[in-house]
Amino acid sequence: MDPKTYKFDTISLHGGYMPSKNAGSRQVPIYQTTSYLFDDVDHAAALFNLEQGGHIYSRISNPTVQVLEERVAALEGGTAALATASGMSAIFLAIMTLCNTGDHVVVSSQLYGGTVNLFRLTLPKFGIKATFVKPRDTEGFKKAIQENTKCIFGELVGNPGNELMNMPEIVKIAHNAGIPVIIDSTYQTPYLFKPLEHGADIVVHSLTKWMAGHGSSMAGILVEGGKFDWLKTDKFPTMTEPYEGYHGLSFAEEFGPVAFTMKARAEGMRDMGPCLSPQNAWNVLQGIETLSVRMEKHCSNALKMVEYLSNHESVAWVSHASLKDNPDYELAKTLLPKGTGSMIAFGIEGGKEAGAAFIDNVKLASHLANVGDTRTLVIHPASATHSQMDEATLKLANMSHDMIRLSVGIEDIDDIINDFEDGFRAAKKPRLIANK
């Protein structure tokens, strides 16, 4: 006897949506509206007071966006989700929902550059400080926790160096300290890894990347695991104490396993408003429909690229957890059995100059500040995505000037390799001239 609940591929297509409640429309309708009619004054009051569910204003919620939220919650195994305008706004919203002025967070040092700057420069302006810990330094996460620490934040596979954090062990450390773990799972998508199944409490995504795949739309999301007991300690007054903004509501008492999402929506979307447009929600839904088939191809192409790069004379080093000599190989085999993802970091012989020549001479691979597109993407992080980081922060993130970040697409692998050959040939030229 087994439950007959829908499985991953089916949820990717159908999750969160019932045509019978939408005029029989097989495709999810785009509710391009700002606001929603109230039945009467009592109905309006009940919605504003969270006495009943429903839509008020599209900054807070929208029926098209709701489909996306339920679909991603279902794919991640979460109790609830809240979509946002971008992955960065999802992270900001998560931290602002948990923290007050004077609070502290422990953060992996290998993160997307924008996230590093959020923790390093922007959040301190709100009185929220961060301690950065190298992703492989599991004990370092424990040592960095302070009395006022409110969470541990990280990416399972760090951007751009591809170093893994031992998430299950770090979850134990966090929970022993009575704090939740927030994982940015953009690189993995729930197809490769479900952080909530490994004990994380909140997942964030930039849906702009592999989840959508098409590179056409910005979107982010928070997903709640529903198992963290906010009431167990007095560490989280923002979740447990009466909230003046809703007539003394205690989110944890009233909403239990969805308290975080309810607070993030009721307070965060109301006051900060980083809402996702229904059109972009719909665009992302189109991508999610094919998530499994795309991720399979991304991963198989990535393995072929790892092999190609590892044997190339112009490549100094390759970082991808599928490599047997990678320090994260065993951990990746355990946590990522379906594949270690399509992000590869490699160093080019000749350093920064060669890297620039390589990037300027590939034609199929696109040079841009995005990852997770169906198309192959390359960038030189030290001069682009992570350029606003100082030398010390770059060093903490284990980033070198010869590093090229590659997001492997789903084109024919032979075409990607041929394109890279052109890039490597061009990268050699300045050195040859210099040697003369």
Partner 1 sequence: MKFKVNSKEVFASTGGRPFDKKKPLIIFIHGSGLSHITWVLQTRYFAFHGYSVLAIDLPGHGYSEGPALESIEEQGNWISDVIDSVGMQEASLVGHSQGCLVVIECASQFPDKIKSIGLMGGAGAIPMNPELLDLAEKGDPKAVDLMMDWAHGPSGHFGGHPVPGLHHMNLGGSIVVNGSVKNALGVDFRACDNYKNGFEAAKKIKCPTLNILGDRDRMCPVKEGKKLADNIEGSQVEIIENCGHMILLEEAGKSLEILKKFIRKNHPTE
18-26, 153-161, 184-192, 338-346 -> range binding partner 1 (CB under 8 A):
18-26
Q: Is 352 in the site for partner 1 (CB under 8 A)?
A: no
- Nearest-approach distance from CB 37 to partner 1, in angstroms: 15
- Kindly tell me which of 1 and 433 has the beta carbon lying closer to partner 1: 1
Helix or strand run (H / E) with residue 29: none
152, 141 contact by CB (below 8 A): yes
Residues 263-302 that bind partner 1 (CB under 8 A): 265
Q: Which residues contact 326 (CB under 8 A, 6 or more apart)?
A: 319, 320, 332
- Kindly tell me which of 232 and 429 has the beta carbon lying closer to partner 1: 232
- Nearest-approach distance from CB 334 to partner 1, in angstroms: 21
Give which of 219, 144, 162, 124 is closest to 407, Cα–Cα: 162
Q: Residue 18, class by beta-carbon neighbours within 10 Å (0-12 exposed, 13-18 middle, 19+ buried)?
A: exposed
Q: Give the Cα separation of 68 and 212 in Å (integer).
A: 11
Instruction: Among 23, 24, 53, 244, indicate the residue that binds partner 1 (CB under 8 A).
Output: 53
Q: Give the Cα separation of 241 and 355 in Å (integer).
A: 53
DSSP states of 200-219 as a string? Answer: -SEEEEETTTTTT-SS----
Q: Give the Cα separation of 417 and 420 in Å (integer).
A: 5
Number of residues in the chain: 436
Helix or strand run (H / E) with residue 393: helix 391-396
- Kindly tell me which of 125 and 247 has the beta carbon lying closer to partner 1: 247
- Nearest-approach distance from CB 6 to partner 1, in angstroms: 6
- Nearest-approach distance from CB 433 to partner 1, in angstroms: 58
Q: Give the Cα separation of 9 and 11 in Å (integer).
A: 5
Q: Give the Cβ contact number of residue 184 at 10 Å.
A: 28
- Kindly tell me which of 157 and 266 has the beta carbon lying closer to partner 1: 266
- Nearest-approach distance from CB 138 to partner 1, in angstroms: 27
Instruction: Among 30, 44, 177, 231, indicate the residue that binds partner 1 (CB under 8 A).
Output: 231
- Kindly tell me which of 107 and 275 has the beta carbon lying closer to partner 1: 275
CA dist 74 → 5, 15, 208 (Å): 11, 7, 18
CA 113 to chain centre: 13
Q: Is 17 in the site for partner 1 (CB under 8 A)?
A: yes
Q: Sign of dihedral through CA atoms 325, 327, 330, 332?
A: negative
Pairing of strands 343-348, 403-407: antiparallel
Q: Which residues contact 309 (CB under 8 A, 6 or more apart)?
A: 315, 318, 344, 346, 420
Q: Is 365 in the site for partner 1 (CB under 8 A)?
A: no
Q: Is 197 in the site for partner 1 (CB under 8 A)?
A: no
Q: Is 256 in the site for partner 1 (CB under 8 A)?
A: yes
- Kindly tell me which of 259 and 332 has the beta carbon lying closer to partner 1: 259
- Kindly tell me which of 239 and 382 has the beta carbon lying closer to partner 1: 239
> Between 78 and 117, how does the x/- string for binding to partner 1 read (CB under 8 A)?
xxxxxx----------------------------------
Q: Is 74 in the site for partner 1 (CB under 8 A)?
A: yes
Q: Is 139 in the site for partner 1 (CB under 8 A)?
A: no
- Kindly tell me which of 54 and 337 has the beta carbon lying closer to partner 1: 54
Give which of 76, 79, 63, 75 is closest to 18, Cα–Cα: 63
Number of residues binding to partner 1, judged by CB under 8 A: 59
Q: Is 332 in the site for partner 1 (CB under 8 A)?
A: no
Q: Is 66 in the site for partner 1 (CB under 8 A)?
A: yes
- Nearest-approach distance from CB 61 to partner 1, in angstroms: 4
Binding positions for partner 1, rule: CB under 8 A: 1-6, 14-18, 20-21, 46, 49-55, 60-63, 65-67, 69-71, 73-74, 77-83, 225-227, 229, 231, 246-250, 253-258, 261-262, 265
